[in-house]
A and B are shown apart, each in its own frame.
Chain A
Amino acid sequence: MLPFIIRRLFFLPVVFFGVTIIIVLLMQLLTPYQRAAAFARSEQQARNLDAIIQQYGLDDPWYMQYGRWLGQVAQGNLGYSRVTAEPVLTTIRKRFPPTLELALFAIIPVIGAGIWFGTAAALNRDKFIDQLTRVLSIVGWSLPTFVFGIWLLVIFYGGLGEFLKDFAGGLFRVEPGRLSTPYIIELASGNFRSYTGLMTIDALLNGRLDIFWNAILHLILPVTTLAVVASAQIMRVMRSSLLDTLSQDYVRTARAKGLEESVVNIKHARRNALIPVLTLAGFVLTGLISGVVITETIFNYPGLGQWAASAAVQLDYAAVLGFAVFLSMVVVIANLLVDVMYGIIDPRIRYD
């Protein structure tokens, strides 16, 4: 397995150069003048675009600009993000943990619901639960995240309608963001140590149940938005791959051996059915990362997605590059982990 992992790690530089060259070339489709104008926020600042072009060397050939950027990277500096007004690396360091937290919390219901519904559907083929799963998964898959997210926001945070006004004691009525204002002030005052950047974990490590709870409340709506669409996909794959394994020889053999049906189903079939699900989990992670762009924008959640959205629209050169490089690395590494997990689930798989 080790040579396999090493070989896959060699792919990282390929992704690095590939992704950055693609983006740098894309940016070259704009004239230096346009790229300079992207720096201007108001009419006032547009008064000397030529100066900006000169200052940032925007009219140099692309390989020179790319070379400059690489030079910076070699010194451990990914450039400066204009959108967040701080170095790209700082932004990534600050914004990756919130996104990771969101994705981790989302992946629990996604995998859970996905596997449960998928299994139930496959074992009861064409029964009610199967039809329900299929309808749920198709509807969930057809929902536009952005409409769904805003509706959640307005209904639960806005407390629309008499019934929802005091739903669950107003439990869901926390403002968008990561924490409530008093905690933001407290964190700014420096009495709270950040260990991991994951708010829930840090809160526990600081022994602050109230902050932990506040962070959880802030996660509910965005996590729901993210999870609904993603679990629909997992359900489908779980169902069809379980159907597939159930019809295979060794399951039949196990049945013929007289093993009890539930043991067959769970011990043998489900474990093998998990392999495609694992593949999909890799995809879901990528999907979640795309999903966070919209979810974070709606729920004002200070993660990578929100940053990426404004950076892309405002042509924040360094931010787009840094973001794309970082996320593609994350994706590659996540896929590598998935592949390694195959081997753990099914020792027969060989890496060559």
Chain B
Amino acid sequence: MQIEILNLAKLYDQKRGLAPISFEVSKGELIAIIGHNGAGKSTLLKMLANWIVPDGGTATIDGIDLKNRIAVVRKVGFIPEEPNLFDFFSVEYNLKLFAALSQTPLTRVEEILGEFDLVSFRMCKVQSLSKGLKQRVNIGRALLADPPVLLLDEPTSGLDFEMTREIYRLLRAMHGAGKTILFTSHRPEEIKSLATRIMVLHQGSLVFDGYPDEYFQSDIHEKLYA
């Protein structure tokens, strides 16, 4: 198993958060994590990305314990909902900065600029880009070090139809390249044809874990989204 999670938990204010959760992820899976706001989707991904410290439980990625942050971040690329780039610098500067810190050759920046159609925007300040373009830079940055696991938190949030399709195209391409991907979404119908597995979080607990067909045939979808 590429990702093994055992009783991972995070509690905010004694109420919200994520109850102890356990599951495993095989290499090459494309998992959609769905659920309402506050269900614990982002919390789960942020714990795996080392953004927040779990209150309990353990998790390993490629056998590396989550607590070993420096080793884990080489395995995981995290794309948050809101692009967190140095807005006042150019696209190229941002990519070069993170490439340097990730000990990635600068030639990789050129590859990313090309792969994500960002060549013509390379000298543009990030703050001048649309949200869709910022998200492309954000995804490109996460892929600089070519991590085997990608975590995307609401990657299509706030994007128009065209941009959402573009992001899904990128997700398919990355999945095709052998990446293991976990992403969160509010919109289960949109990920029907995309995910190989669906996990449903509700009020901090895992209430469904299975194939997309099973999910859409189950009454959970009806209960949650009726």
> Do the two chains bind?
no
Residue ranges of A at the interface with B (Cβ–Cβ < 8 Å): none
